[in-house]
A = this chain, B = another copy of it.
Amino acid sequence: MKTRDRILQTSLQLFNQSGERAISTNHIAAELAISPGNLYYHFRNKADIVYELFLAYQQQVDYYLTAPGSQPLALADLAWYLEAVFDGLWQYRFFHRDLESLLDADPRLRAGYGDFTGRCLSAINGIFNQLASGGIIAPRPEPLRSAMALNVWLVITNWVAYLKTAHATEEPAVLSLAELKQGIYQVLTLELPHVTPEYREPVLALRETYRPGTFCQAEHQSS
């Protein structure tokens, strides 16, 4: 693998592990067993590394979220979307952790993230629409639908922080993918009151899949 990609990969891993704040460029170079000069040959500065990671994050989420157009969605599609989003969230979880500092340090990132949020919100809104077409949730008028989408977004983007700050017993706060997926339980809780009567049972069953306590000694993984 090219050094440049190894730098990105290792940075992502260390950032996810300890937060961007705690990981210096020297740390990254040391972990890779390369010189600081080498790192700075490939990236002008630390912000450029972060920005490139953001682009990858954005590309991945956009890919999964901007797919389907406007055909009706089935329940399985909803599950698939949620899984995809939470996977992305997990892979780039460092990003939401120090978000404000990162945006303060890089105007490109601030602008890019603003657009990204906007796209995510309308994607969620669109999914609500398609779920309504599919008869899974009741159709809601526009101002309400947007507010619902925003609540989903707020729950999703805050879930990792909640786990690491409120729930964690261990000091460095290691998380499992299974715990992360409990966020899906929360999102489905959010949508539950809007589910049509005929789909209530299936949605409840899907939601049960992710219930806290259901996670059967899932394997821990660190990146």
Contacts and interface: CB of A to CB of B under 8 A. Distances in A.
A22 B104 CA distance: 10
Interface string A175-194: 00000000001100110111
Nearest to A166: B117
A171 B110 contact: yes
Nearest to A18: B104
Interface stretch (A37-45, A57-65, A78-86, A95-103): A95-103
Contact of A101 (B19, B103, B157, B162): B19
A34 interface: no
Interface stretch (A6-14, A67-75, A122-130, A147-155): A147-155
Interface in A180-217: 185-186, 189-190, 192-194, 211
B107 A165 contact: no
Interface SS of A by simple majority:
helix
Nearest to A144: B189
Interface in A123-177: 143-144, 147-148, 150-151, 153-155, 157-159, 161-162, 164-168, 171-173
Given A147-B185, A148-B189, A154 B158 contact: yes
Contact of A186 (B101, B147, B159, B192): B147
Please give me the 3 A-B residue pairs with the lowest Cβ-Cβ distance, nearest first: A193-B193, A117-B166, A158-B158
